[in-house]
Structure formats: C-alpha cells, structure tokens
C-alpha cells in the first residue's frame, strides 16, 4: 500500500509539473503574439533624399510609446510619444528639425552614422518593453549606392498619385476659366439694359 501511495504521489507531482510547464509555455506564446517592436529605418522620397521612419514590425500593438530619436554622433535628440502604434504602422520625421536641415543622404551620412531609438513601450497585456534599436544609415546608404538601387515602389506610387492630383486640379482650373470666359463673352454680346430692341 505504501508503494502505491508513493507511486501516486510521484505521478501527481509529475502531472503538476507538466501542467506548470504547459501554462508557462502558453504564457510565453501569448506574450510573443502581442510583442511590439519599434525599429528605426528610412523612407526614400526620391533623388537621394530620405526621411527618418519609425515602424512597428512586431505582431502586437505598441502601447504608450515613449522614445528618443537620435542621430549620432552629435545630432539632434527628439522625444516622441504616441498612445498606440498598430502592427505595420509607421511615422515619418524630418532628419534635422531646422529650417536648413538636410534631407539628402549624402549630406546626412557625412555628419551622422547611426539613427537610434531609445525608450519604452507596453504591449497589449501591460508588460513594459525597453526599446534599444539602431540603424547604421551610413552603411545603408553606401550599400544602396553600390547596388545602384532604383527608387522604391512606394515613392514611385506616391509621386504618381500626387501628379494625378495636380492634373485633376489643373483640369478643374481650366474648366472654371472656360466657364468664366463664356459668361464674359455672352455678357459682352447682350445689349445694355434699357436699350430698345430693333
């Protein structure tokens, strides 16, 4: 009887341990599903110009983002806070927030080597995460130039969309001018009021 009791205790203990392992694994899996990840990158705007971009590449939403954007060495440090950044969402920033700030990567990479993000955020479960990400913009720009990479599709699409908007606006202006011209011409042909008709 004592042997059976001992075996039962061992089996129960083993099941309890397995259950704890399963719960821990499920907790880890759930945490991975909501894990946010903000990374620094660049958005090309054509002709060698670019903006700084922050993108959430994680599977979960970034909650209460509070980060510093840094261009190093010695560049401006800016604080950015945002309540929610959903997966795939991005935000763009001028590289140098000054009237004479450059957007051209040749000039930027002469002065700065690294675009760094430092800060914190929370995930959907309330866990706090440290953000310590960086991008070597000097190395990136060198590799893009060596590969003779063309403008990204996003920039091409955006340019096309804006040009279409300009075309529509010009057509609307042309139609307005035609209507005004017709109205003016018709007014000029009418006899003045009070003049008897012949």
pLDDT digit string, tens, across residues 129-140? 999 999 999 998
pLDDT of residue 14: 73
CATH number listed for the domain at residues 32-149: 2.60.40
Phi then psi for residue 152, to 5 deg, are: -60, 155
Q: Comparing C-alpha atoms, which of 26, 21, 94 is closest to residue 54?
A: 94
Q: Exposed (0-12), middle (13-18) or buried (19+): which is 72, by Cβ within 10 Å?
A: middle
Render pLDDT for 139-170 as a digit per residue (tens, 0 to 9).
Answer: 989 888 888 766 566 656 666 677 777 888 88
Q: What is the pTM of this model?
A: 0.61
Confidence check: pLDDT of 114 > 70:
yes
pLDDT band at 94 (very low <50, low <70, confident <90, very high): confident
Confidence check: pLDDT of 29 > 60:
no
* 118 token code pair: 């430092």
In whole angstroms, give the CA distance from residue 152 to residue 150.
6
Render pLDDT for 1-23 as a digit per residue (tens, 0 to 9).
Answer: 777 676 666 767 777 777 777 76
**Triad 66, 54, 103: Cα angle to 5°:** 120
pLDDT band at 119 (very low <50, low <70, confident <90, very high): very high
Question: What is the average pLDDT across 87-91?
Answer: 91
* 192 token code pair: 């003045």
**Domains of the chain by residue range:** 32-149, 152-184
């Amino acid at each position: 009887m004592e042997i059976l009791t001992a075996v039962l205790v061992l089996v129960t203990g083993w099941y309890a341990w397995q259950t704890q392992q399963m719960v821990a694994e499920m907790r880890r899996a759930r945490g991975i599903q909501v894990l946010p990840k903000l990374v620094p990158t660049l958005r090309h705007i054509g002709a060698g110009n670019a903006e700084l971009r922050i993108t959430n590449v994680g599977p979960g939403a970034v909650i209460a983002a509070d980060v510093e954007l840094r261009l190093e060495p010695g560049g401006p440090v800016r604080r950015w806070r945002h309540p929610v950044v959903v997966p795939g969402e991005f935000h763009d920033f001028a590289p140098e927030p000054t009237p004479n700030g450059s957007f051209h990567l040749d000039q930027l990479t002469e002065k700065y080597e690294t675009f760094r993000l430092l800060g914190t955020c929370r995930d959907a479960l309330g866990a706090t995460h440290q953000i310590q990400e960086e991008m070597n913009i000097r190395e990136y720009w060198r590799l893009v130039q060596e590969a003779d990479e063309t403008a990204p599709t996003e920039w091409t699409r955006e340019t096309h969309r804006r040009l279409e908007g300009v075309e529509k606006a010009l057509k609307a202006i042309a139609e307005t001018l035609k209507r005004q011209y017709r109205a003016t011409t018709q007014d000029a042909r009418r006899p003045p009021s009070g003049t008897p008709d012949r």
